[in-house]
Amino acid sequence: MIKRLIPAMLALLAVLAWAVPAWAHGRSGEADVRFAQTIAGMELTVVVRASVQVPAPLQVDVVAHEPGRGGGVELTLRSAESGVISSGMAQVRLGRPGVYPVLLSADQAGPHELEVKVGGERSVLPFDLMVPRAPLWEVVAYVAFACAAVALIVALVGAALSRRMVAGASAIAFVAATAVAFTAGGLSPWFLPPVPDGAPVGPARELPLGKPNAQPLIEVEPARPGPHTEFRLRIALFDGSTGRPVDDLAEHHGALSHVVVTSQDGAYFRHVHPTRTAPGVHEVRLRAGEAGHHLVYAEFERIDAGGQLVSGDFTVGHGDSGNKPESPVTQAVRPAMEPARPVAGRPVTLTLDTGDATLQPWLGMAGHLIVRREDGGYLGHVHENSSMTNAAERVPDESVARYGPRLRFTFTFPRQGRYLAWVQYVKNYEIVTVPHVIEVEAEGSDR
């Protein structure tokens, strides 16, 4: 009997040895932290790479999409609990989009602040450095596999020495241990994921979506900038119930906040990511376009609360003009629409053929579609279909060219009218913006 079991046990062991590596995945706390930042005339994404243990070196990548004049990007990591500080510098080159790595060090998990300094501007980015823990099912499975391996060895030795009782008992133990391992693996979807070291805890975690909306104060300095002159856009957020600064923004699609600034006619368009200069205060320095009315939209999400969109406006005056700002990189090809004549209340798919199958992710997605009603009363922001379909996957590295050549967006226009649209994607680290105008017919229009 034992001799008959030996080939079966060896075959089962081979299957187990082949299957084990797949069970090492799925741990929580392994995601990178991304912060898009528009700072000192540059559009950067600061990526804090996932850490598997602390104390340990911590890699932070500075991805330059629009490097502007380039220059030194100074990074300082500070633990909110121990106060330990680690600093490093990335030297972004003029006109050289790409990834610039910096090596810092972390002494423990938990709340941290990453300070970014560039050309006299400063941003402080709060985040939780988390280290994954092995899920319970995985621990059970590996312990069971270890027991199965020991039992198999004992069974083989017992069989070789003609110790039938030892070999038989060990064979039974082997089968039982492997059954436990497979059962643990099979039941893994029903196990709660472990809380990683450094994850925030407290009463707030028990009250999801329990916070009031933030109240914005949107202003520019100077209050009426001249055409093509620099100005500073400031967004201050206050809690709707206490009036205190809102300083609990969550990393939301790779940034603390996403801000869209457009002129009334849509000729001026900027999608930027302000720096956090103080608790509840986010600022970005821009160069104005032509004189006229401008609209501001800020999108953000509070921790344990829903997303929120706030808006404001300002006017570019007719005073002294400065140097005309550089226009965003654009593409001449326009998106195709299905149906060709969009109707309010019905989904429409926009397809843009970029002609390139080596597009990189930006803000965690293959592409972005921003839609504004011409009168400014509505703003929509959707992501490319394929990257939304695979949203459960880990966000790919910014250097991985895995998207394209066709980008598809599905959107439903709420009302008839003229809409201004901008498709954005990244190629060779550069942000490409494709403007488009869409006429939407009234619901119930004849097709």
Q: Which of 379, 56, 26 is nearest to 48 (CA)?
A: 56
Q: What pLDDT shows up at residue 4? A: 52
pLDDT in tens, the chain (447 residues): 445 544 544 444 443 343 333 333 333 457 899 999 999 999 999 999 988 889 999 999 999 999 999 999 999 999 999 999 999 999 999 889 999 999 999 999 999 999 999 999 999 999 999 887 766 667 676 776 787 787 678 677 767 777 778 667 777 877 876 877 677 677 666 666 677 776 676 544 444 556 889 999 999 999 999 999 999 999 999 999 999 999 999 998 899 999 999 999 999 999 999 999 999 999 999 999 999 999 999 999 998 888 999 999 999 998 777 777 666 766 667 899 999 999 999 999 999 999 999 999 999 899 999 999 999 999 999 999 987 665 445 666 888 898 999 999 999 999 999 999 999 999 999 999 999 999 999 987 655
Q: Which of 215, 216, 217, 234 is nearest to 225 (CA)?
A: 234
Report d(CA 377, CA 173) in Å as an integer.
70
Q: b/e per residue, 383-414, with b = 16+ CB within 10 A?
A: bbbbbeeeeeeebbebeebebbebbbbebebe
Report d(CA 252, CA 147) in Å as an integer.
44
CATH topology of domain 33-129: Immunoglobulin-like (2.60.40)
Report d(CA 202, CA 195) in Å as an integer.
13
Q: Which of 349, 389, 388 is nearest to 365 (CA)?
A: 388
Is residue 313 within 8 A of residue 295, CB to CB? The reply is yes
Q: What pLDDT shows up at residue 191? A: 66
Q: What pLDDT shows up at residue 1? A: 47
Report d(CA 84, CA 400) in Å as an integer.
33
Domain 329-440 has CATH 2.60.40.10: yes
Q: Locate the domains of the chain by residue range.
A: 2-26+134-190, 33-129, 211-316, 329-440
Cβ neighbors of 329 (< 8 A, separation 6 or more) are 430, 431, 432, 433
Strands 257-263 and 230-239: unpaired
- From the options 3.20.20.110, 3.40.50.2000, 2.60.40.1930, 2.40.100.10, give the CATH code of 211-316: 2.60.40.1930
Check for a shared fold between 211-316 and 329-440. yes
- State the greatest distance between any 2 C-alpha atoms of the chain, in Å, as a whole number: 100
